Amino acid sequence: MKIKIIISLLLIVLTGTSFLYDGPPKPTYLKLTIPRGWPKPGNNIFANNPLTEEGFQLGKKLFYDGRLSKDGNIPCASCHQQFAAFSTYDHDFSHGFNNSFTKRNAPPLFNLAWMKELHWDGAINHIEVQPLAPMTAKNEMAETIENVLKKLNTDTSYKRMFKAAFGNASINSQRMLRALAQFTGSIQSYNSKYDKVKRGEATFTMSEEQGYTIFKASCNACHTEPLFTDNKFRNNGLDVNKSLLDSGRMAITGNTADSLKFKVPSLRNLYLTSPYMHDGRMITLQQVLEHYRSGINISQSTLDTLLKKRIAISEREEVDLLAFLYTLTDKDMSTNKRYAEVVTYKIHEGPH
């Protein structure tokens, strides 16, 4: 009996003091979804940056905020539009500061937790440091990190959100970059028709089914399921764009064997990400397939060995293949409100 009284007294004291303790509010921890049958991400991008709802929301606000750019007009989202699977819709190159253009086609953003290197040439070695590149590039957001932090510091809503995400209101480059990584690293695509078929929730049409067979025979070696990329760097035999002279991966490694190699892009959502290739030179998927059928420049010394004989796809097969590729479109991602900008409307009351 005595013990019971002591314990209840202790409990009262403990709970009582917890109300008095005015520490930082606990964030809500989240877990990255690893869809069934998928490989585990090679390295945990959230190892030093625990994923939380508060961090995600802060990252989303930053992603859609033009103040991260010099003139206020170029948020991350200007080149990474959700309806285009976070690529730039209908643009070979994206628009940067002061009427400039980027030098490569903006890649879509999804399933980044499965990517070791980012950018077409793999220049970026960690998701957290990626935003430094577009933010400071003269032909993209053209701002300095110092200035961005100054601007964020003048906004009380940011102070509140940094506190919620990281325990106190201090705003520094690491926290800003980690919040952005929490948002972009959380954008996932695994609800296309293809995924539903794999989970037994839908069935392919006969044409899609045949397209899938062709895909597995002719495309899967590089655009490997379930990510639809092997994340390797390969030369797919495009003629060199003479106005860009882009050597791709070689610029990063300094190795001539990497000349003209670019990262294999995922085929997920490809109906949303036109135009195609690192320089956006192809508008339609028919053009892409025509390239693999007859356009590959087989004289290039670094051409991928899998493409030396080009890829034989008949016109009949092309119809089925395109039908299958359409099943990789994930509207759950491209229209998901969770990834969309939070817009607060102010209603101005006129005179009565």
Please state the closest distance from residue 140 (CB atom) to another protein, in A: 10
Q: Considering the rule CB under 8 A, would residue 291 count as an interface residue with another protein?
A: no
- The residue with tokens 């690893």 is 34
Please tell me what DSSP assigns to residue 164: H
Instruction: Say which amino acid occupies 115.
Output: M
Interaction with another protein in 17-76: which residues (CB under 8 A)? 45, 48-49
Contact region with another protein (CB under 8 A), list: 143-151, 213-221, 317-325, 344-352: 143-151
Of residues 178-197, those binding another protein (CB under 8 A): 178, 181
User: 279 or 330: whose CB is closer to another protein?
Assistant: 279
Residue type for position 92: D
Kindly identify the residues of this chain, within the stretch 245-284, that bind another protein according to CB under 8 A: 252-254
- Concatenate the DSSP letters of all residues of 277-304 into one string: STT--B-SHHHHHHIIIII--TT-TTB-
Strand partners, 124: 118
Instruction: Tell me: does residue 174 bind another protein (CB under 8 A).
Output: yes
Contact pick of 10, 12, 132, 244 for another protein (by CB under 8 A):
132
| Near another protein in 206-245, by CB under 8 A | none
Pick between residue 139 and residue 300 the one whose CB is nearest to another protein.
Answer: 139
Q: Which of 85, 106, 113, 177 binds another protein (CB under 8 A)?
A: 177
The two structure tokens encoding residue 340: 């969309």
Task: Please report, for residues 131, 213, 292, 343, 345, the alpha-carbon distance to residue 285 in angstroms, rounded to integers and kept in the order given.
Answer: 30, 18, 11, 34, 39
CB of 22 to another protein, least distance (A): 26
Asked if omega into 24 is within 30° of 0 (cis), the reply is no
E strands within 135-290? Answer: 233-234, 262-263
145 part of the interface to another protein, by CB under 8 A: yes
Of the ranges 80-88, 131-139, 315-323, 343-351, which one interacts with another protein (CB under 8 A)?
A: 131-139
125 or 203: CB nearest another protein:
125
Cβ(102)–Cβ(139) below 8 Å: yes
Contact 259, 250 (CB under 8 A): yes
List contacts with another protein (CB under 8 A). Answer: 3, 45, 48-49, 123-129, 132-133, 135-137, 145-146, 149, 172-174, 177-178, 181, 252-254
